[in-house]
Amino acid sequence: MSKKHPDYIVVEGPIGVGKTTLAKRLAKSFNTELMLELATENPFLPRFYSDPKTVALPTQLFFLFQRAKQIESFRQKDMFRPIQVSDFLIEKDKLFASVTLDSDELDLYQQVYNRLTIDNHAPDLVIYLQAPIEILMQRIMMRGYGYEKAINHDYLKKISNAYIDFFYNYTSSPLLIVNTDDFDLSKDEKNYNLLLEHIGTLSSGRHYFNPVQI
């Protein structure tokens, strides 16, 4: 791939939007290291979706420690390839905490977060994937994780709105906003190749990619 492509790319967006799918494709295209969220390893997550109030804090703290550990381990590796791809920003952890925790829990979470040493440089590009809530719900049901069947429309809307607010004010890295409503991230070769070309042309600031109709 061209040297114009960013060295460190993060794919982000709400549950079910296709972060991991796109991150895997990008890592394969660039033949590079890949760092993925490990949501299925969180033992509290199934209980959170069925009864969020009782385990919201341990669910969020588990994710925080897990993501911080991943970033530290990834940072310490010898990187022989120039491009790295991840499907999460560490900052997204606070985004979810703000939605799932009550005020006392959030205060305790913030104290823990502030005491962690998270040495992670800003990405060279963040790709923010968007889709309507109905599309997200369909994708979540299609991927077949049993515990995700408890995810409801209201919760997903809160998470999606939190992402909108977060990226409205995001200036730490160049940002590419991608509409995935009609973009099959796993199979659509034409739009995927157009996206790769678009990535190679980006400079600083905010950018948009709307897939062509096939």
Count of beta carbons in the 10 Å neighbourhood of residue 80: 7
> Mean pLDDT throughout 137-142?
92
DSSP 44: T
Q: Is 7 a catalytic residue?
A: no
Report the predicted TM-score, pTM, of the whole model to 2 decimal places: 0.92
Element (H, E) at 125: strand 125-130
> How confident is the model over 29-78, as pLDDT tens digits?
988 889 999 999 999 999 999 898 899 999 999 999 999 988 888 777 65
Specify the pLDDT at position 145: 81
Q: Cα separations (Å) of 24 from 28, 33, 74, 185, 209?
A: 6, 10, 16, 10, 19
DSSP-based three-state secondary structure for 115: helix
Angle at 121 between CA 116 and CA 122, to 5 degrees: 115
Name the catalytic one among 7, 78, 87, 93: 87
Q: 175: number of CA atoms within 13 Å, CB side?
A: 17
Specify the pLDDT at position 107: 97
